[in-house]
A and B are shown apart, each in its own frame.
Chain A
Amino acid sequence: MTTRLLAQKIVVAALGLALLVTAGISFRRSRNLAEPVVLGPGVTSVKKLGEYFAAIRGTVNDCNLYFMEGREPGATMLVLGGSHAEEPAGRLAAWLLVENGAVEKGRMIVVLSASRSASTMTRLGGAYPPDFTIGTPSGPRTFRMGDRWTNPLDQWPDPEVFIHYPSRQELAYVDVRNLNRTWPGRPNGTLTEKTAFAFMEMIRREKVDVAIDLHEAELQYPVISTIVTHQRGQELATMASMMLTDNEGFKIGTEFSPLTLHGLSHREIGDHSQAVSLLFEAPEPFLDATRGITSREQLLTGRDEFVVKAGKHGLLFEDIDEKGWPIAVRVGRHTSAILQVAETWSEDNPAKPLAISSVPRYAEVIEKGVGAFLQDVAKAPKDRLAYE
């Protein structure tokens, strides 16, 4: 090998190494970014999902469960954020509950990273930003931008066809890593199936009455701006959506969970436990296939000229204009819908009420921004801090 050839190889290898190190640091940081959670006045204890199913204990999916016990007895509501970690409004709405909420009657169990593994990477080939930052009065707070599916580093390989357990319905192969296609889970299954099973065990043991799964959807997806409900929650969801549309000024519909569409929380939690299961969808243009640059700004503002153009061609199931769908609007929809479901539930079940206070509603979140309701991490006592 000549000296010139050797020098050429050293230069190329050094460039490759620089590429490897730069990408590696970014991916490693994204996978290990610790997101602080300031435990609000309503949080009475923090448990781990692994306490309900040993096979999850110590794994990447052994997520935190924030218990908010009321002063008076009542119903138990479960709120799942982060089933799909690429839908940040669901996680942030749950964050606002934990950092601000108080429960007067009944109790809430709140999850910020239901599919924690999925929150440790972004979509392969999707050029997603690895994280996003929300400005708060006490400084910026950075959150992981995740994916829809469990990280392949934690669960691999995917089968040719995913056969859902126990229905044996055939689903897309990649959905073997989708928490919201693997309900009610399987104790000896994949990591994602074990995670769903652990949640089911928790729901059964804690006698959850209402389970809410927070999501966002692309505007080209017909199930959007809606509450999807199990048949046992039809009256609750319908009344809640009517009240929200009438009183809070945003449009939200109701859809009934198809009896034979398996693996989704709104179907399986209701079928396999005592809980009424609901799933909320808010609009997220970031997920639309016709979007432009997939940036942090697009994620937070929900503004995208190409999605607007798709709307003008009648390709969308939700309206969009130049104002987009800002994160505050999406988070506010979720917080108001949670509060409205609790209120409607209490009216229908006076012997088992659920009273939640200090959680900002839609108009307040839009007026002040999401960051106004994220507490000061630096001022929080160490025993009132948790990490996601």
Chain B
Amino acid sequence: MVTLLYYALVAFVSLLLIVNLAKSRSWERDVLYVIVLVPFLLRLFRLK
């Protein structure tokens, strides 16, 4: 159960990062969001 919650949380934070990436207007922030997003997606896809 806790694992499901964890993955739901990871998916939610990933979604927030993607929304922020879409809304941001500076390329520095875009890069920041993408770099932060990578480990979340790796975990979501059960790669690391």
Contacts and interface: CB of A to CB of B under 8 A. Distances in A.
A155 to B, nearest CB: 10
B3 to A, nearest CB: 6
A288 B1 CA distance: 38
B3 A16 contact: no
A24 interface: yes
Interface residues on B, range: 10 to 19
A20 interface: yes
Contact of A156 (B6, B31, B37, B47): B6
Contacts of B25: 5
A12 B31 contact: yes
Interface residues on A, range: 10 to 19
A16 B47 contact: no
Contacts of B35: 16, 19
Contact of A15 (B6, B34, B45, B48): B34
A124 B37 CA distance: 17
Contacts of A24: 42, 45, 47-48
A43 to B, nearest CB: 33
A8 B27 CA distance: 7
Contact of A19 (B21, B38, B45, B47): B38
Interface in B1-48: 2-3, 6, 21-22, 25, 27, 30-31, 34-35, 37-38, 41-42, 45-48
A273 to B, nearest CB: 32
A160 to B, nearest CB: 14
Contacts of A13: 21, 34
B6 A16 contact: no
Contacts of B46: 153
Contacts of A341: none
A370 to B, nearest CB: 29
Nearest to A8: B27
A12 B37 CA distance: 12
A8 B29 CA distance: 11
B48 A157 contact: no
